[in-house]
């Protein structure tokens, strides 16, 4: 059912997707689209960094090269090689190798990458199809609707964020009933709102329904196609796609998760994941050690409220073991930006005594050299406080979150 577009061979099928919530790149989006017979663009990718001159279709009228990194805004990005733009078009096959050599092995900086950019290890090469019109289409989970919604705009492409901000009336939504799925009239209405007319409206509606089937089949939390384009020959094609998968569905999606590519992941985040820790690095200097995502975000907010800057988001989770506490401290103290550590634990299912034992062990073995502020509340809190007070370690106790944040900020200013 897949309608490939002119490319004869494919070493690696990849359209620069973002994988899971950790945004890991994976070479399977084309394979996934194929599961539900979605019309997409075939392409070539050099199989490794050392294949500096990708093969390209010799009969192509125009060729497109696209740097493969897990970040948006590539078209407006800049390479440290001096090349501007992570997406290039050329009608000269001889230039393909030259352009690829200016991308492969160099860092590409966009509005979504770290300031030093991300090293490009793969470049997608494909025949450039004429796109007579670009639209945007996505299916994602919406908390306000307690389920999936379709989001679309007749103006797709690189500036979709600007479209949403400046002309919100061009963003259309359709709530999907999880028991009925995408109804025919919904798909046709969305296709019409995207500007597809005549036979193309029915073709686009069919692609929309197939994309929703795909959304369910692979346990996605987001399927985004930008652009969902229209060719002069009258074909609706998914030219680029991004898919987020639900981590909780790993047991069902073994084929997908087996292809997890960690090469672009932050090393600290990768190490944290080994210990079931949710870690996201930030730009501040006060490390946060918290249980629960909501409490972790609140802790970051209140540090900022009192004039400090959080160095990270770290969610310890519920089933805590002393080793996790130790490994978490090891990660936090390895960050050279960290000038203080704030521990904020509300023990419901978490045993505060386990936290306290883990803290004292970590402080001794890691020879902690930055101020440590600890706020504990909940299960076994009195035992936990006794462990900390009798440890002889320079630990500052706090009565509540507000007090803890103030003391952490003050410790840095001393």
User: What pLDDT does 40 receive?
Assistant: 55
- CATH homologous superfamily, domain 267-413: Succinyl-CoA synthetase domains (3.40.50.261)
- The CATH number of 42-127 is 3.30.1490.20
How far apart (Å, rounded) are the C-alpha atoms in residues 216 and 204? 19
| 364 known ligand binder | no
226: which DSSP letter? Answer: E
Residue-wise pLDDT for 53-80, tens only, equals 445 555 668 888 999 888 888 889 999 9
156 is in an annotated binding site: no
Distance (Å) of CA 271 to CA 264, 277, 345:
13, 9, 22
Q: Is 140 annotated as ligand-binding? A: no
Q: Among 174, 224, 230, 327, which one carries the catalytic annotation? A: 224
235: tokens are 């074909």
Domain boundaries along the sequence of the chain: 42-127, 133-257, 267-413
Would you place residue 335 in the very low, low, confident or very high pLDDT band (cuts 50, 70, 90)?
A: very high
Is 357 annotated in some ligand binding site?
no
pLDDT tens for 17-31 read: 222 232 334 344 555
Question: How far, in Å, are 25, 30, 89, 193 from residue 233 at the CA level?
Answer: 32, 22, 20, 21
Does domain 133-257 sit in CATH 3.30.470.20?
yes
Q: Which residues contact 154 (CB under 8 A, 6 or more apart)?
A: 135, 170, 193, 194, 195
pLDDT tens for residues 369-410? 999 999 999 999 999 999 999 999 999 999 999 999 999 999
- Assess whether 224 carries a catalytic annotation: yes
For the chain, the farthest-separated pair of C-alpha atoms sits apart, in whole angstroms, at: 78
Q: What are phi and psi of 223, to 5 degrees?
A: -125, 115
In CATH terms, are 42-127 and 267-413 the same topology? no
136 is an active site residue: yes
């Amino acid at each position: 059912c897949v309608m490939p577009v002119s490319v004869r061979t494919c070493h690696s099928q990849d359209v620069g997707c973002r994988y899971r919530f950790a945004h890991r790149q994976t070479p399977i989006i084309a394979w996934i689209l194929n599961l539900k017979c979605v019309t997409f663009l075939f392409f070539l990718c050099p199989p490794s960094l050392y294949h500096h001159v990708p093969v390209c279709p010799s009969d192509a009228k125009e060729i497109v090269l696209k740097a493969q990194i897990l970040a948006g805004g590539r078209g407006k990005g800049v390479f440290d090689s001096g090349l501007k733009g992570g997406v290039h078009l050329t009608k000269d096959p001889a230039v393909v190798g030259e352009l690829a050599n200016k991308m492969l092995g160099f860092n590409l900086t966009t509005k979504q990458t770290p300031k030093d950019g991300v090293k490009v290890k793969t470049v997608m090469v494909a025949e450039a199809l004429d796109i007579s019109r670009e639209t945007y289409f996505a299916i994602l989970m919406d908390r306000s609707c307690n389920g999936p919604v379709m989001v679309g705009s007749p103006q797709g492409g690189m500036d979709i964020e600007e479209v949403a901000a400046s002309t919100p009336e061009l963003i259309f939504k359709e709530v999907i009933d999880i028991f009925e799925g995408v109804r025919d009239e919904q798909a046709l209405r969305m296709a019409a709102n995207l500007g597809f007319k005549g036979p193309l409206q029915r073709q686009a509606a069919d692609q929309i329904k197939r994309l929703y089937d795909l959304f369910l089949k692979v346990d996605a939390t987001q399927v985004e196609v930008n652009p969902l384009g229209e060719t002069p020959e009258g074909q609706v094609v998914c030219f680029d796609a991004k898919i987020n998968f639900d981590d909780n569905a790993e047991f069902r999606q073994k084929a997908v998760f087996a292809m997890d590519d960690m090469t672009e992941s932050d090393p600290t985040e990768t190490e944290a994941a080994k210990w079931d820790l949710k870690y996201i690095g930030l730009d501040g200097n006060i490390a946060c050690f918290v249980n629960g995502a909501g409490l972790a975000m609140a802790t970051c907010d209140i540090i900022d409220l009192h004039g400090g800057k959080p160095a990270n988001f770290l969610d310890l989770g519920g089933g805590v073991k002393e080793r996790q506490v130790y490994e978490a401290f090891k990660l936090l103290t390895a960050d050279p930006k960290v000038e203080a550590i704030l521990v904020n634990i509300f023990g419901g299912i978490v045993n505060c005594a386990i936290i306290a034992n883990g803290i004292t062990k970590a402080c001794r073995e890691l020879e902690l050299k930055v101020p440590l502020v600890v706020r504990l509340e909940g299960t076994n809190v009195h035992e936990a406080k006794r462990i900390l007070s009798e440890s002889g370690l320079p630990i500052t106790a706090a009565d509540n979150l507000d007090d803890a944040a103030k003391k952490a900020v003050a410790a840095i200013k001393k």
